[in-house]
Amino acid sequence: MTQNFPALALILLFPAIGVLFNLFYGGRAGRGAVNFAGPAVIVLAFAVAVSAFVALLRMPPGAALTCSLWPWIAAGPFHADLGLRFDALSAVMTLVVTGVGALIHIYSAGYMAEDDDYARYFTYLNLFALSMLVLVLADNLLQMFIGWEGVGLCSYLLIAFWFDNPQYAYNGRKAFIVNRIGDLGFLLGILTLVGALARHNVWTLDFAAMRDHAALLAPVATLAALLLFFGATGKSAQIPLYVWLPDAMVGPTPVSALIHAATMVTAGVYMIARLNFLYLMSPEAMEVVAVAGAVTAFFAATIAIVQADIKRVLAYSTISQIGYMMLGVGVGAFSAGVFHLMTHAFFKGLLFLCSGSVIHALHGEQDMNKMGGLRKKLPITFATMLIATLAISAIPPFAGFFSKDQILDGAFGSGHVWLWLLGVVTAGLTSFYMFRLIFMTFYGDSRVEPERAHHLHESPRVMTAPLIALAALSSVGGFVALPKGIAWGNAFGRFLAPIVNHPIAGVVAPPALEVESGAASALLGAVSLSAALLGILTAWLLYRRNPGLADQISASLSSLYELLWRKYYIDEIYDVLVSRPLFWISAVLLNRGVDRGVIDAMVDGTGLTVEEGGEAVSKAESGNVQLYAFVYLLGALAIVAYYLYRVMR
């Protein structure tokens, strides 16, 4: 069942107005106007999203609100129109993007208060939110691709926001290029689906239509799903295309919060959940998604345990948490993956904004080795960051506990026991590196440089208010999906079920996606909770009880520590195996060999031949009348001789 809801267009219109206002009038309107308009348009979009959500709740399960915008592509029998679809899945995503995004915009007004280029900043930030909303509200795959490319562009613009620093500009280009590599796979996946449907005279990429014709996609399901997932590894920073995200930390901290919590890196998870009917037809593709997610989660967590930059720790944490989401959707627990996406938006947005509050207080310092003892100086930041840390560490009753356990239950219940075990180990590593961050930043003796310590103070209210709001969501956000038999139970899962677990003709869903026995589920939850508590205890022993013990262990395991510190030398490996060969091919083979040796040689050779021919002919025009008469005579004699020759024959 669908219902026309024209107000959906306002969710895109308000951020678009913000982009235009800040781009063309922001500099002249002044900082106050920009600081009001930039967040206000996202708040208005959130208000419309809430009204649409209320309307959706009044409709039968599986229903959707729609809004047709205008015709777009009509190429022969193929057509794709621009339209919006607001069902259970896109409702969750829209509320996350506008709700968490609005808090980040408000926070930005305080964080960027001293930056001169505030109008450009809010232009990019509004455009980022707009692009993500286009992605999640799209009713067809091509329109989703517009938003997909839009968030990639905005990430480049915001990562390299302070482009006068060459390293920052380089990191922005790195993010852009890596995402373009992934986007090639995404585009090939779209073309694969178009070709498969066209063979049966179906000329559309609407999600609803593709679901209705899902059986036609079966022959190419694995290929298309893997190509689309390759695109997701770029956007969602998974192995092998995760390398851009840690270097994205050079942008303003609110940008990091928006990328990690409410927009870009969740796009891949959303895409797989939206195309669940395609992935369910290919157990092989789902296996790849699950394995890649679990391995990425563990891999990134091992790197995070030794990082000293507070934002880099959180960056690897995001890579790891997105891996959990990929594990969830890969084993068929789509609602669990989306649920963790939502709770992650709460606590990861909070973690980044808290780190921004710390960096703001320390005037740009990000090295945790130069922090310590900030608990009393930054009480609100400390309290809210502790809540976020408990949430990401999956400690009950905070939000991350419920969502992470659902994913692990799904992995175990679907028969992926080794992936479940890897997820449990990763849970222990997560709590370890996050409480390591807490202890190094807020506890112990102060290691803050004297000139910075003198100016230490809590952030202004415009920054702390969003922290408190996100802390509340991180505390109670998990209650929408309680275990079976408790209060309203898994209301979140029931809300999403008609969209992500809808029966598809000819498609067999994976085996049990959750552990049916309450006792078994409780036992699995106890195992993962024990791993998390063990990680906290280890962090306390190394960084509070015996502060020097961590350095001693690092020295005794210097080779392992160096391996983790160097991030498994992945950047160096990419440089040797990918970057340098590509530069050589570009400079030597293509530039010198093809461009100069072939193309330029042909073009320049033709021009040179004409030039030399012209010079030779020009010598005949000497201006000597006697020479002209002589040549004329020779020509006349030649004609007469030729005539006589013809007559005599």
Higher pLDDT, 71 or 385: 385
What pLDDT does residue 582 have? 81
Instruction: List the chain domain ranges.
Output: 333-564, 572-615+624-648
Comparing CA positions, the residue from 513, 229, 493 lying closest to residue 340 is: 493
What pLDDT does residue 512 have? 43
Burial degree of 25 (CB within 10 A; 0-12, 13-18, 19+): middle
Comparing CA positions, the residue from 72, 207, 198, 197 lying closest to residue 139 is: 207
Residue 510 has pLDDT above 70, yes or no: no
Q: pLDDT tens-digit profile of 171-208? A: 999 999 999 999 999 999 999 999 999 998 888 899 98
Residue 341 has pLDDT above 70, yes or no: yes
Q: Give yes or no for a contact between 154 and 131, defined as CB atoms under 8 angstroms apart.
A: yes
Alpha-carbon distance 15 to 258, whole Å?
15
φ/ψ of 366, rounded to 5, equals -120, -5
Q: pLDDT tens-digit profile of 367-378? A: 999 998 999 999
Q: Give yes or no for a contact between 42 and 126, defined as CB atoms under 8 angstroms apart.
A: yes
Question: Average per-residue pLDDT in the chain?
Answer: 89
Burial degree of 373 (CB within 10 A; 0-12, 13-18, 19+): middle
Per-residue DSSP letter, 263:
S
DSSP string, 29-61: H-HHHHHHHHHHHHHHHHHHHHHHHHHHHTSPT
Under DSSP, is residue 395 helix (H, G, I), strand (E, B) or coil?
coil
Task: Using pLDDT thresholds of 50, 70 and 90, give the confidence band for residue 309.
Answer: very high
Alpha-carbon distance 187 to 390, whole Å?
39
Q: What angle do CA 131, 137, 139 make, to 5 degrees?
A: 120
Alpha-carbon distance 204 to 206, whole Å?
6
For residues 420-426, average pLDDT: 95
Residue 270 has pLDDT above 50, yes or no: yes
For residues 596-607, average pLDDT: 78
Which amino acid, one-letter code, is at 161? F
Task: Using pLDDT thresholds of 50, 70 and 90, give the confidence band for residue 514.
Answer: very low
Residue 27 has pLDDT above 80, yes or no: yes
Residues in Cβ contact with 347 at an 8 Å cutoff, skipping those fewer than 6 apart: 387, 388, 391, 392, 398, 399, 400, 470, 474
Higher pLDDT, 489 or 311: 311
The torsion angle over the Cα atoms of residues 469, 472, 477 and 479, rounded to 10 degrees, is -150
Burial degree of 155 (CB within 10 A; 0-12, 13-18, 19+): buried
Task: Using pLDDT thresholds of 50, 70 and 90, give the confidence band for residue 407.
Answer: very high
Q: pLDDT tens-digit profile of 38-49? A: 999 999 999 999
The torsion angle over the Cα atoms of residues 207, 209, 211 and 216, rounded to 10 degrees, is -120
Task: Using pLDDT thresholds of 50, 70 and 90, give the confidence band for residue 550.
Answer: confident
Residue 462 has pLDDT above 90, yes or no: yes
Q: pLDDT tens-digit profile of 80-121? A: 889 999 999 999 999 999 999 999 999 999 999 888 899 999
What pLDDT does residue 610 have? 78
What pLDDT does residue 485 have? 67
For residues 624-645, average pLDDT: 78
- Lowest mean pLDDT, pick from 74-78, 246-250, 308-312, 319-323: 74-78
Residue 268 has pLDDT above 80, yes or no: yes
For residues 619-640, average pLDDT: 74
Alpha-carbon distance 376 to 94, whole Å?
37
Structure-token pair, residue 515: 């552990």
For residues 418-439, average pLDDT: 96
Alpha-carbon distance 590 to 586, whole Å?
5
Alpha-carbon distance 90 to 173, whole Å?
30
What pLDDT does residue 604 have? 75
What pLDDT does residue 518 have? 66
Alpha-carbon distance 518 to 409, whole Å?
11
- Lowest mean pLDDT, pick from 24-38, 278-292, 443-457, 592-606: 592-606
The helix (H) or strand (E) run that includes residue 473 is helix 461-476
Residue 597 has pLDDT above 90, yes or no: no
SS3 content of the chain, % helix, strand, coil (to 5): 75, 5, 20
What CA–CA distances, in Å, run from 329 to 135, 156, 310, 366, 613? Answer: 19, 28, 29, 34, 70
Alpha-carbon distance 376 to 364, whole Å?
19
Q: Give yes or no for a contact between 137 and 16, defined as CB atoms under 8 angstroms apart.
A: no
Residue 239 has pLDDT above 50, yes or no: yes
